[in-house]
Structure 1
Amino acid sequence: MIDCGLPMAGDSIAPFTDRPVAPADIDYLFLTHAHIDHIGRVPDLIDAGFEGEILCSHPTKALLIPMLHDAMGFSKRSKDEVKRLEAAIDELSWGFEYQQSFRLNKGVRFKLGRAGHILGSSFVHFTIPNGDGKPSKVLFSGDLGCKGSPILCDPDTPDPCDLLVMESTYGNRNHEDRTERVERLEKVLRKALSDGGKVFIPAFSLGRTQELIYEIDRILSNINPGDGSPLNGIPVFVDSPLGLEITNIYASLSEFWDRESQALLKEGDHPIDFKTLFSVRSYRDHQKALTVPGPAIIIAGSGMCSGGRIIDHLEEGLGDEKNDVLFVGYQARGTLGRDILTYGPRKNGYARINGEKVFINAEVHKLAGYSAHADQKELVEWVEGMGEKPGKIRLVHGESDAQEGLKRVLEDRGYRVE
């Protein structure tokens, strides 16, 4: 089985009883990375009878329990049930190295490649004996990332295969140029903080928070103390217990960082830590952070403002015209983040928070270039990197229009796509 995630909002959950293989009959569960839409139903799978092995990269193994502990906190499970499941998951799961071949039952072999989506993300290549001397080769892409992402190594070049099962999240579009996003971020922050207000940045705990810390650190490291910049000495608060825990795990996994990040660390410049970075751990500290005067930067979850500590900050600060809200990710329809983006620019625009009408006087910004998913161009380039065409490609993990857009482009290049 490849991944076992919770569906996105609005998608239905298929019961395990409707699947062709019962959980108790699954020998191996491969996890491509630790995002909840890929691991969130692992506890349910164990409750349904799964007792096989859980296989993933070493960083994903390190991230697995913290991410699932947080997710199970929103379920109806008791503390004892959560502890039991965490112990079972820890016992069943194993981390593996990249680009090394390992043997499973019946002669099946697998190899993990770096997918560049988040730390630990992988694609999985299987070699399956057929008895005729010519094994079948099947490749699951997982979620592929963009080249040049902070901290992360670029996606590895995939080996040839007979069947490629490939994600298509951004299969019908291309991202804006990412090379200038640090400059754009600095420009927005300088303008936003020039009046002494606060900047609220909603961010997911895994991946986006660490990227933001990295890039704010790069900005602050390059500021001349004498230039009068509003960013001089600016406090940056990470108000997310899970985000802080994940950041600490990222810091402990420096051997899996890209070369640039490792070089900074060797030079004594820790890429995800700096003097004015503050951790907001306890609820008491969170209450204090709500009343911290500006100028300041607040990074808090969740990324779409659908829960978490960012809600309290927005409720407290949206009405102040000196403040700013900076979105660095997609805001789905029906989320508070989408409402703020939609109604913030309008005169007398407001959003409802905890059932109350809150007017949006803060300025609202949307900064592109922070997607963790490869776009159409990068997806096609990744496939072309194989050197020879797969026997066929099956597209998954994307809306129908995204799948159709990627299918057309691949077929135009002579690929067989289902």
Structure 2
Amino acid sequence: MSFQLLHHGAVDGVTGSCHELRLQEGPGILVDCGMFQGQECSSGGACEEHPGIEFAVGHIRALVVTHVHLDHVGRIPYLMAAGFAGPILCSEPSALLLPLVLEDAVKTGITRDAGLLQSFLTRLQALIVPLPYGKWRDIDTGTTTTLSVKLQPAGHILGSAYVLARVKTGARSQVLGAEEIPGGNHPPGSSMAPTTGMPSLICFSGDLGAPHAPLLPAPRPPWRADVLVLESTYGDRLHEGRRTRRVRLQGIIETALRDRGVVLIPAFSIGRTQELLYEIEDIIHRNRERFAAQGLTWEDLEIIVDSPLALRYTQVYRQLQNFWDQEAQRRVRAGRHPLSFEQMTVIDRHEDHLAAVDYLQRKARPCVVIAASGMCSGGRIVNYLKALLGDPRTDVVFVGYQAQGTPGRDIQTWGPRGGYVFLEGNRYDIRARIHTLTGYSAHADRSNLVNFVKGMRRRPVEVRLVHGDRQARQVLAAELRKVLRPAIGRIVEHC
């Protein structure tokens, strides 16, 4: 009996994650169904401007969601419109967050009609099936082949998971559809599970978090996997350590405040915003008796979170403290409030947002502004950038990956050279200081990814690298070959 792995996104870049496990008899499951961003697209032509489903869905028995970032779930409305009516399996925190994420996505990109929106949310809620971590769940395939899935914590954002899929047949399993990379030990197009009659295990990493990230426990690899579909977003680099990044963030804020300027931090509403609040609260706590700048103590520094969606997510994060790591729970027991501290100001109403942008443009009041979107391709951060990029007292701090073709990538690339960026069709010169703190990435780096594979007691027969630019995949593949050969049979850089 055989199964096939198909990839409908995140093959040539980092967005649009969508992977299919299809049994030879025909039924299959999807792992994620994400939106493309920037210039990235699928081989079938789906892209940011045309985000439809370009593959058949009638045989898909379930969708398994690794986490609720839009590049992993943003095409779910289109999947449902294409006829998918199976269960949507996800972790318990993701079950609470997913409707919030998709409600906003539908409002922004599809319709604001209240009736249509409510109809969609009602259908969506009926499909969501929360799964506890570490518990197997059988999928009804309608065949004699048994297909089960299990979620394990991935440490990326609250509720994130990697997926183990178990395929049990009476004969040796075979994986079809992969191209052979030179140097492998197996014939082109297949890789064999190690033992006749033994279940095949396929691991979909989703997005793995870095160890020692704020709030969440580090991911632990599975005991074994025959095939590993592994993200490679930062497969070509190493992150700064947590202490180093905290010191750098503090230094950037202090420099900006000395100039009486504004620090702009583009951040996704879910995950990165909460991690930044957690880290900034700790900086303020450690330096509460020091001056951040002349005449301004750290305790008087205002942190503006300008995102109604981030507010909703942060409230859910606070409700789910039992999923936080031990360090975060110790802070709560000590009377601290890592996600809701005195210096925070949350802006909800659009009118208040516009007033804040206007005020900061005129007065340049020293403060820190956290706003979405993380790649500057939309959301309230765009208005701040249009107003403040031309001010040399402004600092823009990137704390996450910027996809090719996004305004964030352009600012990151051309800003340090005194360049310009187009925002909503208009050109804006960049005089602000531009910083990149890779240590705040919620993604594992090259060393973390290699260690995830090394941590498996029985190494994969095949590793497929997805969710990364070409250079990231190539560098990670070379490192895996160097460190793990001959324990791994085949490494596929392009799926």
Q: Is the CA contact (8 Å cut-off) linking 1:125 and 1:159 kept in structure 2?
A: no
Query: 1:398 & 1:333 partners in 2: Cα distance?
Result: 11
Greater CA drift, 377-386 or 304-313: 304-313
Aligned equivalent of 1:331, options 387, 390, 402:
402
TM-score by length of 1: 0.92
Query: 2:409 & 2:478 partners in 1: Cα distance?
Result: 30
Greater share of strand residues, 1 or 2?
2
Q: Is the CA contact (8 Å cut-off) linking 1:304 and 1:337 kept in structure 2?
A: yes
Aligned equivalent of 1:254, options 313, 317, 321:
321
For residues 221-275 of structure 1, what are the alpha-carbon distances to aligned partners after superposition, in whole Å with 9 as ceiling and x for unaligned? 1124365754331111101122222111111111111111111112221111110
Query: 1:32 & 1:112 partners in 2: Cα distance?
Result: 8
Structure 1 vs Structure 2 CA RMSD = 2.2
For residues 158-188 of structure 1, what are the alpha-carbon distances to aligned partners after superposition, in whole Å with 9 as ceiling and x for unaligned? 1212222222222233223343211111111
Q: Quickly say closer, same or farther: Cα 1:327–1:172, change in 2 above 3 A.
A: closer
Q: Is the CA contact (8 Å cut-off) linking 1:138 and 1:163 kept in structure 2?
A: yes
Q: Is the CA contact (8 Å cut-off) linking 2:266 and 2:398 kept in structure 1?
A: yes
Query: 2:170 & 2:413 partners in 1: Cα distance?
Result: 59
Q: Quickly say closer, same or farther: Cα 1:329–1:228, change in 2 above 3 A.
A: closer
Q: 1:314 maps to which residue?
A: 385
CA shift, 1:357, in A, is 4.4
CA shift, 1:299, in A, is 0.9
CA shift, 1:215, in A, is 0.8
Q: Is the CA contact (8 Å cut-off) linking 2:371 and 2:381 kept in structure 1?
A: yes
Does residue 59 in structure 1 map to residue 93 in structure 2? Answer: yes
Does residue 219 in structure 1 map to residue 248 in structure 2? Answer: no
Query: 1:53 & 1:280 partners in 2: Cα distance?
Result: 36
Q: 1:73 maps to which residue?
A: 107
CA shift, 1:12, in A, is 2.8
1:160 is aligned with what amino acid? R
In structure 2, the residue corresponding to 1:28 is in which secondary structure?
Answer: strand
1:12-51 maps to which residues of 2 (within 5 A)? 12-13=41-42, 14=44, 19=55, 22-51=56-85
Aligned equivalent of 2:160, options 121, 130, 148:
121
Report the number of matched residues: 415
CA shift, 1:392, in A, is 2.2
For residues 359-382 of structure 1, what are the alpha-carbon distances to aligned partners after superposition, in whole Å with 9 as ceiling and x for unaligned? 433333332312221112111111
In structure 2, the residue corresponding to 1:390 is in which secondary structure?
Answer: coil
In structure 2, the residue corresponding to 1:365 is in which secondary structure?
Answer: strand
Query: 1:17 & 1:183 partners in 2: Cα distance?
Result: 44
Q: Is the CA contact (8 Å cut-off) linking 2:420 and 2:429 kept in structure 1?
A: yes
1:113 is aligned with what amino acid? Q
Query: 2:329 & 2:53 partners in 1: Cα distance?
Result: 46
Aligned equivalent of 1:11, options 24, 34, 40:
40
Aligned equivalent of 2:213, options 149, 154, 157:
149
Q: Is the CA contact (8 Å cut-off) linking 1:98 and 1:114 kept in structure 2?
A: yes
Identity %: 42
For residues 272-297 of structure 1, what are the alpha-carbon distances to aligned partners after superposition, in whole Å with 9 as ceiling and x for unaligned? 11101011000111122121541211
Q: Is the CA contact (8 Å cut-off) linking 2:61 and 2:87 kept in structure 1?
A: yes
For residues 397-416 of structure 1, what are the alpha-carbon distances to aligned partners after superposition, in whole Å with 9 as ceiling and x for unaligned? 22333223222222232211
Does residue 401 in structure 1 map to residue 465 in structure 2? Answer: no
In structure 1, the residue corresponding to 2:368 is in which secondary structure?
Answer: strand
Query: 1:163 & 1:10 partners in 2: Cα distance?
Result: 29
Q: Quickly say closer, same or farther: Cα 1:358–1:103, change in 2 above 3 A.
A: closer
1:65 is aligned with what amino acid? P
For structure 2, list consecutive stretches of 5 or more residues without a partner in the other structure.
1-29, 47-51, 172-196
Does residue 98 in structure 1 map to residue 133 in structure 2? Answer: yes
CA shift, 1:350, in A, is 4.1
In structure 2, the residue corresponding to 1:64 is in which secondary structure?
Answer: helix
Aligned equivalent of 2:150, options 84, 100, 111:
111
Aligned equivalent of 1:236, options 298, 303, 306:
303
In structure 1, the residue corresponding to 2:58 is in which secondary structure?
Answer: helix
Query: 1:17 & 1:364 partners in 2: Cα distance?
Result: 37
CA shift, 1:102, in A, is 2.9
Query: 1:184 & 1:316 partners in 2: Cα distance?
Result: 25
TM-score by length of 2: 0.78
Q: 1:297 maps to which residue?
A: 368
Q: Is the CA contact (8 Å cut-off) linking 1:203 and 1:328 kept in structure 2?
A: yes
1:119 is aligned with what amino acid? L
Q: 2:273 maps to which residue?
A: 209
Query: 2:292 & 2:338 partners in 1: Cα distance?
Result: 24
1:279 is aligned with what amino acid? V
For structure 1, list consecutive stretches of 5 or more residues without a partner in the other structure.
none
Q: 1:416 maps to which residue?
A: 489
